[in-house]
Amino acid sequence: LDAVDGALGDGEARFALSRPPGHHASRHAADGFCFYNFAAAATAYALDKHELDWVALVDWDAHHGNGLAAYAAEEPRVAYASAHQAPLWPHTGDVAGAEGNCLNAPVGRGANADSYGEAWAECLDFVKTRCRAEGRGLVIVS
């Protein structure tokens, strides 16, 4: 939360190291060694305390962030995008494409750098189009 306050205070990038990242934990349950969803907590804090108009959650992990995706699906001010290997545990996010404010860009096992780069470009384009150019926002990479 200090990183959110700092980034929104002076506009400088911040880094908060939290392992595991928490992207599997949901509001009501731990999952995948994630007991607490740090990125979702930071997002909710930024939206409420700092009265932001939007937050982009970009998930960078081999696994789909099912906890982050569930949070984003409930919060219209959040755009969530994930490039991840599929099929792979937790067996969510296996279908490519956007649904509401969430985008899954799965890549197959052994994908080369070009395939992975294309998936990331798709993620960044998605959050760019979902996040308003106007208003205050924040990008959180999980």
Q: Catalytic site residues?
A: 24
- The three state secondary structure string of the chain is CHHHHHHHHHCCCCCCCCCCCCCCCCCCCCECCECCCHHHHHHHHHHHHCCCCEEEEEEECCCCCHHHHHHHHHCCCEEEEEEEECCCCCCCCCCCEEECCEEEEEECCCCCHHHHHHHHHHHHHHHHHHCCCCCCEEEEEC
Output the six-digit token pair for 75: 């919060």
Question: Contact, 62 vs 85, CB < 8 A?
Answer: yes
